[in-house]
Structure 1
Amino acid sequence: MKKPIKLAVAAACVLGIGQVGAATILDSGTTAYYGADNKGPADVIGGSTYDISQAAIARAGNVLTITITTAFAGNAGMNASWGKDPLTGATGKGIGYGDVFLSDTWNAAGDATNHYATDSATTGTVWDYGFSLNNRWNNGGGTFKLYALNGATNAQNILNSDSYISCGISCNYRENQETAVNTKSATVKDTGLAGTWSVTVNKTVPAQSYLTFKIDLSGSELLDYSSFAMHWGETCQNDVIEGLAKGVHVPLPGTAALLFLGLGALGVARRRRGHPSLPSAA
């Protein structure tokens, strides 16, 4: 293989691999996010069933995939007498899955040394987008819509954990944390994009169970994000994962192919210069 062609193939391979970007937010260790009203303080309230360990955020081309590892996967509907649906008024729903919130910057109140003890929906990051789940109490997964959150504050865009709990003083939960997109708010706009979410349960090791959210972002401003700030928790927010995933950025699709064609053409041109045409016969 000629050198220019070798260079083209190598460049195409490198850029092709670069079409996938990924990063992970951890919810363990000394810098784990707790947030306001952490009851102790404590990362998890109410036992290990609510524990969240990490969120992996990846992009392959235009497709964004978020995988949240949590022992709560498969447990939506538990504590049925405590939960309610603020949008429909239905009670007896139990604890469900919260919506995913995204932004390109993370501005949590407080710092890692106190586990962001003052951070809540009213003091922390104002989120730009949210995945609104079609049925947050479904352990089989489903669909979600991508909403743009245009209000100047979270209060205009979201429903908090207090909106989903009706247990009085009989339970502890992390209060005033952003939980779901308020789809009835005038500041919230349906982008027209939708995705799917699924639940995978590891019965042998529950802590390794996970939720997966997948969406094609074609036409969305989210394609410009090189980093993703994210927030997720159960509707009671008894554990919350929040933080910034850096480096979730890929080159524009087709860059590798264009470079390959350009260098390939260069190789053809060099071969022609190195082999002049023979003179015609007399």
Structure 2
Amino acid sequence: MKKLFSAFCAAFALLAMHGAQAGGISDSGANAYWGGDSHGQGDVIGGSMYDIGGATIARVGSVLTVTINTAFAGHAGADSWAGPNGIGYGDVFLSQAWNPFGTDAHHTGDNAANGTKWNYGFSLDNRWSNTGGTFKLYQLNGSTNAANIKNSESFMTCTLGTQCLYRNGQATAVKTTSSTVNYTGLTGSWTVTKDQKLTFTINASSTALVNFSSFAMHWGETCQNDVIEGLVRVVPTPGSLPLLALGLGALCMLRRRRHG
């Protein structure tokens, strides 16, 4: 019986591993993405509050979760002189392929005009909330990013110069009024936590996102003072495997409690 129980637990571990696909993108070190138009400031413009450390993308069945580690979590509304309501959280952009401009490690010439064309966007209902809220999933069908997105210039009212620096030309928000942008009918939720994380979760069962073998991602604040981009490789998984893994996990936990 003990051998059978051990086999169940081993199966649970295997299924849990296959049921949840996740990968990370780092925004620090020699290969960190900077993006174009940093105006000589490098990775981060405006100090450590805007720093992005990394991100993870996970898919369990049809549920997609994007988690971003950033010191800006909880600071929406900062620098109110720079734009209406201050600096907020940008939208999340996704695509299956990542095609940044330039061959240098930091892609210092890459922007929305010459880089990856984004296929989906999470459009936040309130990008200045420091607790979270909801977002809508849009499919971006225009032939260029210009047809589908707004850059940081759309959110900044200060004049770009020595007293006002921000990373212009970067994808910042879904242009929901564009005829090339279609609402999928799906809504997700996002949270801001004290451990400096933004977490976005959505059930994307009726979209191509559930079949992506890889995810390219872009995110930054509305000023894009720091930007994270990169690629995570995953494999499609049926939703039944995570459910079976959860069931086996419950059996393992129950058995251990009885043994205790």
Q: Does 1:184 align with 2:171?
A: no
- Aligned match of 2:146 in 152, 155, 161? 155
Q: Is the 8 A contact 2:61 2:242 kept in 1?
A: no
33-42 or 131-140: bigger deviation: 33-42
Residue equivalent to 1:261: none
Q: Is the 8 A contact 2:60 2:237 kept in 1?
A: no
Q: Is the 8 A contact 1:32 1:112 kept in 2?
A: no
Aligned-partner Cα distance in 2 for 1:4–1:139: 48
Using structure 2 for the length normalisation, give the TM-score: 0.86
Using structure 1 for the length normalisation, give the TM-score: 0.80
Residue equivalent to 1:280: none
Residue equivalent to 1:271: none
Aligned-partner Cα distance in 2 for 1:8–1:200: 35
Structure 1: 5+ residue stretches without partners: 84-91, 203-208, 259-282
* Superposition CA RMSD, Å: 2.3
Query: What is the count of residue pairs matched by the alignment?
Result: 242
Q: Does 1:126 align with 2:110?
A: no
Q: What is the deviation of 1:6?
A: 9.0
- Aligned match of 2:239 in 250, 253, 257? 253
Aligned-partner Cα distance in 1 for 2:242–2:184: 30
Match of 2:81, SS? helix
Aligned-partner Cα distance in 1 for 2:6–2:53: 43
- Aligned match of 1:100 in 92, 95, 115? 92
Residue equivalent to 1:43: 43
Overall identity of the aligned pairs, in %:
55
Q: Is the 8 A contact 1:144 1:196 kept in 2?
A: yes
Q: Does 1:141 align with 2:128?
A: no
Residue equivalent to 1:32: 32
Q: Does 1:211 align with 2:198?
A: yes
The amino acid that maps onto 2:37 is D
Q: What is the deviation of 1:8?
A: 8.6
1:77/1:4 Cα in 2 relative to 1: closer, same or farther (>3 Å)? closer
- Aligned match of 1:195 in 168, 188, 192? 188
1:79/1:62 Cα in 2 relative to 1: closer, same or farther (>3 Å)? same
Aligned-partner Cα distance in 2 for 1:210–1:16: 24
Match of 1:156, SS? helix
1:135-182 residue CA offsets vs partner (Å, 9 max, x unmatched): 101111100000000000000000001111011133100011000000
The amino acid that maps onto 1:240 is V
Query: Which aligned runs of 4 or more in structure 1 are off by greater than 6 angstroms?
Result: 3-9
1:52/1:9 Cα in 2 relative to 1: closer, same or farther (>3 Å)? closer
Q: Is the 8 A contact 2:52 2:228 kept in 1?
A: yes
1:99/1:9 Cα in 2 relative to 1: closer, same or farther (>3 Å)? same
Alignment of 1:50-69 (within 5 A): 50-69=50-69
The amino acid that maps onto 1:215 is I
Match of 1:18, SS? helix
1:78/1:5 Cα in 2 relative to 1: closer, same or farther (>3 Å)? closer
Whose radius of gyration is greater, 1 or 2?
1
The amino acid that maps onto 2:98 is W
- Aligned match of 2:222 in 205, 224, 235? 235
Aligned-partner Cα distance in 2 for 1:48–1:9: 44
Aligned-partner Cα distance in 2 for 1:131–1:9: 37
Aligned-partner Cα distance in 2 for 1:32–1:251: 29
Q: What is the deviation of 1:217?
A: 1.1
The amino acid that maps onto 1:167 is C
The amino acid that maps onto 1:102 is L
